[in-house]
């Protein structure tokens, strides 16, 4: 699609990603003279209603958000394709490399760097959780965290949901793709603010070790980092608190998680 003009103003430079009828493209806005990201969703008879709901939810969510570390909504249009049509979402382009790209290149992060990444994402989550209703990202993982120029960005809001009650949200919603960074409760259709904390905690563990979550050693139901990485006891404890498999034992909000990280203290006991 390189060179093609979409919506009479967005000239495609290259494909950034493709998955199940969705394309993410880097394009040049011929009017504003700047790079943008265009997300295309093929809209044909094979399009699942769940896919359409998720796409429309992403559009509405980005419209409502205003944060320097979240892509900004720029526009929405329909585009004709040879086999039908596509829905297109336009958002600001964030220059930088994803955490996943860094890990693929063999880079791992030390404790100080990992702490800074964690704090940066927590500040974004505090903003999302402070919305009314609060917003759960539901897809925090290395590929959705971009390391830009002195800023950490959270991208891809295609899986978001809102919840009026931060402690529990078991009402019907579209089950999104699951992966190594997905919290246990999300597999059974439960998604709360603490779910994003689990995903962030596991993401930070991977950034420290370069090891995917499924390959990380465990001691019982908890991850066991001691044999593979040298960290302060307080940071290890914080990571374990973030990734408790039992939801009720986990840190419950981004603000609580940030306060616990800043306190730098080990819990009195881990049962």
Question: Distance of CA 112 to CAs 50, 72, 119, 189, 220, Å?
Answer: 40, 29, 11, 35, 28
User: What b/e readout covers 168-206, taking b as 16+ CB neighbours within 10 angstroms?
Assistant: ebeeebbebeeeebbbebbeeebbbbbbbbbbbbbbbbb
Q: Which of 29, 51, 101, 139 is catalytic?
A: 139
Q: Which two structure tokens, joined as six digits, stand for 71?
A: 């892509």
| Cβ atoms of residues 243 and 258 within 8 Å | no
Q: Which two structure tokens, joined as six digits, stand for 30?
A: 């011929």
Beta carbons within 8 Å of 47's beta carbon, 6+ residues apart: 21, 41
* 50 annotated active-site: no
> What is the pairing mode between strands 97-98 and 84-92?
unpaired
Beta carbons within 8 Å of 239's beta carbon, 6+ residues apart: 201, 204, 205, 223, 225, 231
Neighbours of 150 (CB within 10 A): 5
Supply the residues annotated as catalytic: 139
């Amino acid at each position: 699609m390189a060179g093609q003009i979409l919506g009479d103003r967005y000239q495609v430079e290259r494909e950034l990603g493709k998955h199940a009828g969705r394309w993410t493209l880097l394009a040049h806005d011929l009017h504003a003279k700047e790079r943008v990201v265009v997300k295309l969703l093929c809209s044909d008879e094979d399009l699942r209603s769940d896919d359409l709901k998720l796409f429309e939810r992403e559009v509405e969510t980005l419209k409502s958000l205003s944060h320097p570390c979240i892509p900004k909504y720029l526009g929405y249009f329909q585009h004709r394709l040879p086999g039908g049509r596509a829905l297109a979402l336009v958002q600001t382009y964030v220059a930088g490399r994803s955490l996943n790209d860094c890990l693929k290149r063999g880079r791992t992060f030390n404790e100080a760097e990992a702490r800074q990444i964690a704090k940066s994402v927590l500040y974004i989550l505090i903003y999302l959780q402070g919305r009314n209703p609060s917003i759960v990202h539901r897809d925090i993982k290395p590929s959705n965290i971009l390391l830009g120029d002195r800023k950490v960005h959270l991208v891809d809001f295609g899986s978001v949901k809102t919840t009026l009650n931060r402690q529990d949200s078991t009402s019907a919603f579209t089950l999104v793709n699951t992966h190594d960074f997905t919290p246990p409760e999300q597999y059974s259709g439960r998604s709360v603010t603490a779910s994003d904390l689990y995903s962030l905690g596991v993401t930070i563990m991977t950034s420290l070790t370069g090891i995917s979550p499924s390959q990380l050693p465990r001691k019982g139901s908890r991850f066991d980092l001691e044999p593979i990485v040298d960290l302060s006891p307080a940071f290890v404890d914080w990571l374990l608190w973030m990734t408790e498999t039992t939801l009720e034992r986990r840190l419950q909000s981004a603000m609580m998680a940030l306060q616990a990280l800043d306190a730098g203290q080990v819990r009195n006991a881990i049962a």
